[in-house]
Amino acid sequence: MVEFLNGLGYSFLLWKFGLTGQTVAYALLFSALLVITFIDLDHKIIPNEITLPGMAIGLIAATLILPQGFWNSFIGLLLGGGLFYLIADLSQRILKQEGMGGGDIKLIAMIGAFLGWQSVLLTIFIGALLGSVVGLFLIIVSGKGRRYPIPFGPFLSIGALTALFWGSEILWWYFNGGFWGR
């Protein structure tokens, strides 16, 4: 399944970006997100061995071949990781429970390094929306409580891939009136 999805993802990357250095960088991101998704679903962890090198690779790729450049990438890394760190810290202090793991913080920082600050915000929005819908579904259909842990990595991965493939179009649509027009 993982190999099939990886091949399908690479095909979409080639279709979207052509045979370029960008495609190679995004293929690394795609494979990392795919592996993280299945590990998080199975074990509810996101390995540092993937996210920490991924942050460095994202920054290097942004400096050399990705269109957003180093500073956009660096801000994306700090913004994504910083927001999630703040949420996790507040959850720990106020609710006295872990609401988000450290793996999610490093994952969103890695995504920010590859995609930049605007796309990391879009990723967070899409991931939170999908996670909320699935969480509500589990509460309603299966009787799971609010405290039932749901791995967030897969939702962030879907959000990141949506931002990668259609982020420009989504942001253009949003800033030009969205559903309500201008």
The reply to whether the predicted model has a pTM over 0.85 is yes
Residues contacting 151, CB < 8 A, separation 6+: 40, 41, 44
- Measure the CA–CA gap between 95 and 79, rounded to whole angstroms: 23
At 179 the pLDDT is 67
Long-range contacts of 48-51 (CB under 8 A, 24+ apart): 48/103, 48/106, 50/110, 51/103, 51/106, 51/107, 51/109, 51/110
Nearest 5°: the CA angle 109, 155, 104 is 35
At 180 the pLDDT is 66
- Measure the CA–CA gap between 105 and 141, rounded to whole angstroms: 29
C-alpha pair distances (Å), 83 with each of 21, 31, 65, 146, 182? 30, 24, 26, 22, 30
DSSP 180: G
Q: Which of 80, 76, 98 is nearest to 89 (CA)?
A: 98
- Cα dihedral sign for 22, 80, 118, 152? positive
The residue whose two tokens read 């690479």 is: 10
At 72 the pLDDT is 97
- Measure the CA–CA gap between 30 and 11, rounded to whole angstroms: 11
At 21 the pLDDT is 96
At 135 the pLDDT is 86
Per-residue pLDDT of the chain (182 residues; tens, 9 = 90+): 899 999 999 999 999 999 999 999 999 999 999 999 999 999 999 999 999 999 999 999 999 999 999 999 999 999 999 999 998 888 777 777 666 789 999 999 999 999 999 999 999 999 999 999 998 888 888 876 666 778 999 999 999 999 999 999 998 888 887 766 65
